[in-house]
Amino acid sequence: MKTLTSEDYQRASSGYDPVPERSYSIDSESYSDPKFLKAEQCEVFHKTWQFLCHEEKLREPGSYIADEIQGQGIFAVRDAKGELRAFYNVCKHRAHELVKGEGKFTTVITCPYHAWAYGLDGQLRTARHSDGLEGFEKSDFCLTPVRIETFCSLVFVNLDPDASSLAEQTQDLAEEITGYAPDIASLTFAHRLTYKIKANWKTVIDNFLECYHCSIAHKDFVSLVEMDTYKITTHGIYSSHMAKAGRRENTAFTIRNASLTDHAVWYLWPNITLLRYPGRSNFMVWRFIPVGPEETYEIFDFFFEDDQPNDTEKDIIRYIDEILQVEDINLVESVQRGMRTPAFQHGRYVIDKNEPGLSEHGVHHFHGLVLDAYRRAAGQ
């Protein structure tokens, strides 16, 4: 079913060119019109790999975690044989949600409405008082599976049963991540930051994908890394953003005696960023979740060596929460207000091959992926 017309797609892509040096950005209408969000839900979020949790949450048989992907409830569970499974979070009797949050099952998943019980493999085990039903077969009422994959010790799910694996789609990304974060499997969840932002999810990601604005808007950040080493490289469905830690004292957070001296960041289509900051062993996962055409929910998860951050790690969290995020949220909310005005339709990408850390080719790459989804939504 088409969620956009051919005219919608033509307007959104009217100034875009595959060559970034001569391209305009995508049309501002796509940042505020609900029909574009509907198309993104169907053609992007319901067909791509979405981060669920670190695998530590699902190591033990019976452990589970529930989540939602743009209105579609799902949950993942480790079954008795150790296999990782995921299902739509809905009972096949009367559509009640089966689980909430996270925890551990014993041997079955029991619906809290009428107590239909399912095995951890999704098979219906018992349906109370169903013996007198004609033609009732338990095998007809199994839970509907969802694709699930462990990638670099992180668990992802995909609602598209025909999607290729995340490892196949991302080619060398796993090798890159484990090269910078070989200890990712042993890290543990330590902290979460959340934000509600008055901006379209693409506005937020546009801002993340370029550091052209950093020296203007992030004075502390540019003291943390050596900007002359900052390099953005685009790949199929991801981009890498690399820099060396600063050689002098910085005003963001202390990295004195740091064991990690690289700022290593990856953007993964459509709405996930993976980060490794200078300091002690760490890894961060940042998600941008559309709530509405002009509202985004951000979830920022921190993984450290211990579940209780030390003083230095608390300083990293403080810097991100109280300084960096405040700066970026002010930026993207201002951009979103500007997107609504008739004075702006689309802008130009600033491309500088000699200064790849200041260039906006990462935004151009992202917009190309967005337009591919719009083209499919329009049936072209």
The answer to whether residues 129 and 97 touch, using CB atoms and an 8 Å cutoff, is no
Whole-number average pLDDT of the chain? 94
Torsion, Cα 337 342 348 349, to 10 degrees, reads 20
In the DSSP assignment, the letter for residue 228 is G
* pLDDT for residue 259: 66
Give the pLDDT of residue 263.
85
- Cα gap 198→339, rounded to integer Å: 12
Q: How much is the pLDDT for 379?
A: 93
pLDDT for residue 228: 86
Judged on CB neighbours under 10 Å (0-12, 13-18, 19+), 297 is middle
pLDDT computed for residue 58 by the predictor: 97
- Of 28, 12, 21, the C-alpha closest to 206 is 28
pLDDT at 248: 63
User: 37 Cβ partners below 8 Å, 6+ apart?
Assistant: 200, 290, 292, 293
Residue pair 247/256 in contact (Cβ under 8 Å)? The answer is: no
Measured between alpha carbons, how far is 71 from 38 in angstroms, rounded to an integer? 11
Instruction: Please say whether the dihedral angle defined by the alpha carbons of residues 236, 66, 89 and 139, taken in this order, is positive or negative.
Output: positive
Backbone angles phi, psi at 155, to 5 degrees: -100, 130
Strand partners, 94: none
Q: Which residues of 174-204 are buried (b: 16+ CB within 10 A; e: fewer)?
A: eebbeebbeebeebeebbeeebebebbbbbb
Residue ranges of the chain with pLDDT lower than 70? 246-259
Report pLDDT for 380: 85
Residue 226 β-bridge partners: none
State phi, psi for 172 to the nearest 5 degrees. -90, 5
Q: Which residue has the tokens 């009422």?
A: 141
d(CA 325, CA 316): 12
3-state secondary structure at position 266: strand
Report the C-alpha gap between 152 and 170 in whole angstroms: 12
pTM: 0.94
Residues 233, 39: Cα–Cα separation, whole Å: 28
